[in-house]
Amino acid sequence: AQSVTQLDSQVPVFEEAPVELRCNYSSSVSVYLFWYVQYPNQGLQLLLKYLSGSTLVKGINGFEAEFNKSQTSFHLRKPSVHISDTAEYFCAVSGGSNYKLTFGKGTLLTVNP
């Protein structure tokens, strides 16, 4: 069985400040890890993914994440956020035969001017 814990349900930050959204996972099999972003009344947009290889992955909109196997973490970071980054962010894990995604509860990032 797999599970994902997003440690913060809400993260308020000021514009141009750095941000880290935390994600921890558990799995009994090798995993693939993802971050998705959801803007109001929209579907999920893929930000970045870790499938294999380098543990530091870069995604769209200046976001990056680091896979840490020993700490079972996949935290999302951005060095300087914009108002337009305000959205809900979901960490997800997949593995096993059907690759279904197991999601965390989401983190609402609010960027204030």
Footprint on this chain of another protein (rule: CB under 8 A): 32, 34, 36, 41-46, 49, 51, 90, 92, 94, 98-106
* Cα(26)–Cα(31) distance, integer angstroms: 9
Q: What is the amino acid identity at position 1?
A: A
* Cα(33)–Cα(49) distance, integer angstroms: 6
Nearer to another protein, 67 or 104 (CB): 104
* Cα(79)–Cα(6) distance, integer angstroms: 20
Nearer to another protein, 30 or 70 (CB): 30
- Minimum distance, C-beta of residue 54 to another protein, in the bound complex (Å): 16
Nearer to another protein, 13 or 22 (CB): 22
